[in-house]
Amino acid sequence: MAEVPLWAAIPIAAFLLIGAGLTLIGSYGLLRLPRFYDRIHAPTLGTSWGTAAIVLASMGYFSVTGGRPVEHEILLGFFVTVTTPVTLMLLARAATFRDRAEGNPEVPGRPAVADTETTDGDGSPPA
């Protein structure tokens, strides 16, 4: 590993630890949270600041060792930031569709268009 000055090593190390720690917390939440609709929120810790911090650390390290600004890691952060909402929304909609098709009582049925008084109170989908 190349020698970098101390003023650069400390923020790089801090960003690495922050990013990896947030990703670990996100995966722990994925394991621990009780329902699917809770769990789908947990890995976004890793996709937001987990990725951003590790990408910043990588940019800082290669900029200092290379002696010139290196910014191609931004592509990685940009790509993850753009694609995560798309994938998770598709996945959540698929899960909602499956739960509704099975009549799972934890998931409310498709909301009524005209009025909501016709549902019988417990949120079950109309027959």
User: Closest approach of Cβ 40 to another protein, in Å?
Assistant: 6
Residue 27 or 124 with smaller CB distance to another protein = 27
Q: Which is nearest to 8 in space by CA: 50, 85, 66, 52?
A: 66
Packed helices 51-66 and 74-102: angle between N→C axes, nearest 10 degrees: 170
Q: Which is nearest to 103 in space by CA: 123, 83, 82, 78?
A: 123
27 contributes a contact to another protein by CB under 8 A: yes
Q: Is 33 exposed, middle or buried (0-12, 13-18, 19+ CB in 10 A)?
A: middle
5 contributes a contact to another protein by CB under 8 A: yes
| Cβ-based neighbour number of residue 125 at 10 Å | 14
User: Closest approach of Cβ 126 to another protein, in Å?
Assistant: 22
How many residues line the site for another protein (CB under 8 A)? 56
Residues in contact with another protein by the rule CB under 8 A: 1-6, 8-10, 12-14, 16-17, 19-21, 23-24, 26-28, 30-31, 36, 39-40, 43, 46-47, 50-51, 54-55, 57-58, 61-62, 65, 72-73, 75-76, 79-80, 83, 86-88, 90-91, 93-95, 97-98
